[in-house]
Structure 1
C-alpha cells in the first residue's frame, strides 16, 4: 500500500490493538475511540484483575464490546492491522524481543511507545531478528517513544535543517510528576519516596533501563546528522524532599528521594557531541528550581547556533500528546514497506482537524 492510499477516505478503519492499559494506554484507547479512521480490535492487560473487563470501561468510557485479555495468544489470533505497544520499560530489550517478533510474524504492524525508536542502537543481531519477523508478517515496526521521543530526537533533527554546521546537540527535559496518576511510574520506576539506601540499591537496574531507552534517541540523532557514536556515558544525581509532598500518585515523605537528573552523553572523537538531560521532579512547585523548571530546552551549537526553550504550558496534556504521537503514526507505518522504520524513513504526519 502506498502512503497516499493510507489516507484514502474510503479505506476501512485501521483495526488496532492496545498493548497494556496504564495511563498512556488508556489515553490511546480513548484516542482510537474518538477517531473515524480507527477501531479497537483488542487490548492486552498485565493485571489479572483487568482481564475480561471491557476496554472501554478500562479507559473510563461506556462498554464498547471489546474485552481485554491477558493471554498473548488471543492477541496473536486477532485480525488487526497494528499493535500500539506500551508496556512498562524493561532493562533488557532482548527479553521482549521474542514477544515483539511474534506480534510482527502474526501480520501486525507495531508502533511502540516504549523503545524501538532506533533499534540499531542494540546491534545487528537485534535488528536482524526484527527484520526477519517483519518479512514473515509483511509488516513494519516503528518506535514513536514517550520520553525517548520527539523532543529528544525529532525536534533536534527538525531544527538541524536551519544550521549548516553543528558541533553539539543538547536537550534538557524537566518533568513535573505532581499530577501524574501512576504509582507504578512515580514510586516504582522513578524510585520517588524511597530512602537513599533503597534508591541506590534500585539504581543499577534503573540505570540499565534508562540507558537502553535513551541510547536509541542518541543514536537516532547521530545517524540523522551523519555521526557514528563511539560510546555513551550515563550519569545520575538525586535530591531529597525537604518536606512531605502530596502527589496524585501518592505521598512522598520528607527526606526520601523526590528528584533525579539523568545525563546521557553520546561521544565521538573523544568528546560529547549529543547530550540528553532528563530531570524528574515529584512536585516542581514545592522544590528548588535547581536543574531548571518544567519544560524543554534545546540548543544546537553550530553555524548558526539555535536555541528553543518552552515552559510546561507548551502542551496541555503530555500523556494524551504521547498517545496522539503514536496514533498519528499508524497510517504511515501500515503503509510502509516491511521492516524496521524509524523517523529517518517515514514521512511526517500531523493530527486530524475536527470541524
Structure 2
C-alpha cells in the first residue's frame, strides 16, 4: 500500500504537486466509467454541479457568430496519461469566449467539441496548462456521418457543436450540452439520463434531470429507481361494446403506474356478456404505460352480478386487458368496477 510519508499537510517544506492531486482524488467519488475501473484511484471527473448546472456551460453569443461562450465554474479532471496520478482542479473565473473554426464548403459537415483540457509535461508533452478549447472534427458528407474528433486524454467534455456547410454562426440549436458532473463521495449527482455514468457505488444517487427522477447504485453495479414518480391517470381504450358506465359520479376506466411501480386501474364500465369460466377482451392500456408494465398484472374487479368478481389480466407485450370470469355468468349491461385493481405477477 502506497503512503504519502511524511504527511504533506504536516510539513513546511516543498512536496510534489502530485501529492495534492492525490489528496483531491481521495475527496471525490470513485470512477463512474468502465474505462476507469481498472484504476480505482481515479475519480468520476467532470463539472462541479450547481443550481441549474450553469457551471462551465457553453452558450451562443448574444448575436450568434463563430464563437461560443463558456461560463465560469470548476472542473475536476483526472490524469489519464498514466494510471493513478491524481486529479486536477480547473477554475474558470468568468465568461470565456472561444473561437470556432470556419465552416467547410458545400457537402462538408463536422462535429466540433468544447472541452476543458489539462496538459501536464510531467506525464506527456511539454505544455503545463489547462485550457478551455474547441477541438475541430473531421469533415463528413452528411450531418449524420459527422463524429466527434479525437480528444486530449486529460479532458472533460462540455458541449458538442454541429457545423454545416458554409455556416456563419453557431446558434443555440447547434450547441448540445454533454457535460458530466462530479461530486464528493456519496453526494447526489445531477445529470441527464443520456450521459449518466454506468457504474455507481452502492447507495450513490443520481438525479436524472431530463426525467425528473432519482436512481441509486446497487451492489452489483446496476441501478434502480429510488422512488419512481407516479404517472398521471390516462384513459383506457375500451374494446367492442364496452363503454363507461355513465352514472353520476362514475369515472371512465383509466390507468396509471404508482410510485412503487405497480399498475393501478380505476373507473366503471358496462358492456358485453361473459359466460361462466370465459374470458372477454376489455380494452388496451395507453401506449405510454405499456413499456412500464414488465409483468402480468392480475387484479380482481367487482361486478353488479350477485357480488361476483372477475379477474383482470394485463398482457405486458401489448397492453391488452382481459376479464377472466369465475363461476357466475355476467349478462349484457352488467357493470364492472375497476377501482382498487392493482398488483404485480402472482
TM-score class normalised by the smaller sequence: under 0.3
- TM-score, normalised via structure 1 length: 0.21
Q: Return the structure number with greater strand share.
A: 2
Q: Return the structure number with greater helix share.
A: 1
* Rg comparison, structure with higher value: 2
- TM-score, normalised via structure 2 length: 0.22
